[in-house]
Amino acid sequence: MSQNPSPTEKTDAALTFGQSRPTGCIVLNDGQIFYGNGFGATGTEAAELCFNTAMTGYQEIMTDPSYAGQVVTFTFPHIGNVGTNDDDDEATAPWAAGIVVKWDPTDPSNWRNTNHISEWMRKNGRIGVGGIDTRRLTRSIRSLGAPHAVIAHDPEGNFDTDALLQMARAFPGIEGLDLAKDVTCAQSYRWNEMRWAWPDGFTPNETPGFRVVAVDYGAKRNILRCLASAGCEVIVLPATATAEEVLAHEPQGLFLSNGPGDPAATGEYAVPMIKTVLEKTDIPVFGICLGHQMLALALGARTIKMNHGHHGANHPVKDLETGKVEVTSMNHGFAVDGQSLPDTVAETHVSLFDGSNCGIAMRDRPVFSVQQHPEASPGPQDSFYLFERFVSEMEKRVKEPV
């Protein structure tokens, strides 16, 4: 694989778009350069480069706070075909730094569309590059690991590749970074909106039951909707909430959300909070993604950086208790080291792709977590039982004799 395309290769790439020169490029920190057609916002952005194998949900992926600090390469070639709309946002704005696609975004053809993805990205300051050999790029990421990269879009096609390469190499990377503080809510709030359902769309939970404090490390809206749909009264607190702030709401359950960054860095303040809550109460605890990693750290396990992570909506995960295999959605570049779990904690789920840990549970308490995203439901309902299990554990605690 050549690292720097020859002038002929640059011309061939440009001819794909019927113009004099390419208007977008991706420069990897190992010197590889990919030329294509820029769309969305103009400019440059340095980030970690990952790939996602999902065939649907590109808007949800881009607005997932867990993608902060990352550029997403989509292996599915047709991006933009359903357009964009406000209902599918998982946060108030996109958090992915940019996207890389095989074909230029197509015109939308869907009754829910309200805006072309190119215009949506331009308005939100996000860069896209199309016309890229995403198969070649993905193979490079799988072989060499998730690289540091710069994505660039210039309508005139003027790229100082030497400067972009230095920018990619200067990017510090995600390892060691606490990004949860960047994506969390600024203050606490209540959430009662339930999952979308035909024909009324999103409706409020008018009869909430158990009071759950959800710690927002980068929570997706649909996770909060699943909690509300399961019958919870949800109080969302910022990532830096202390145990005292959590317990002040007298919760009947504690939820730890998904989020971006290095779990060890976020754990500097999250782990003490979780430990204190576990020491002072016996309430059920449920974690997802980064919340899973926070719980594992609090219980004495370790986390490790993965070569290229798990990003997609087709990841098979085995429930070791039931033997069932769930088709799940995943987005993580770090994993819990299953070999580091203490005797008091059981491994409950594993990835059938690489055997990595995907779930844990305390052996003597209703405290559990999973690496996958059960709210995304690619199965489509394979993992929703986890929300029901969380509520069931709260019900058991209420019924227990004093």
Residues designated as active site: 289, 373, 375
- Among positive and negative, which fits the CA dihedral 179, 191, 314, 347? positive
Phi/psi for 140 (5° steps) reads: -65, -45
Rounded CA-CA distance 264/160 in Å is 36
Per DSSP bridges, beta strands 303-319 and 127-130 are unpaired
Contact 115, 104 (CB under 8 A): no
Nearest to 227 by CA among 399, 394, 400: 394
Per DSSP bridges, beta strands 303-319 and 357-362 are unpaired
Rounded CA-CA distance 369/48 in Å is 26
Rounded CA-CA distance 255/2 in Å is 47
Rounded CA-CA distance 97/69 in Å is 6
Nearest to 191 by CA among 112, 257, 286: 257
Contact 49, 147 (CB under 8 A): yes
Task: Tell me which H or E stretch contains 54.
Answer: none
Burial 366-398 (b: 16+ CB within 10 A, else e): bbbbbbbbbbbbbbeebbbebbebbbebbeeee
What is the token pair recorded at 19? 């113009």
CA distances in angstroms from 22 to 7, 33, 50, 154, 295, listed in the order given = 12, 12, 22, 9, 46
DSSP SS3 for 389: helix
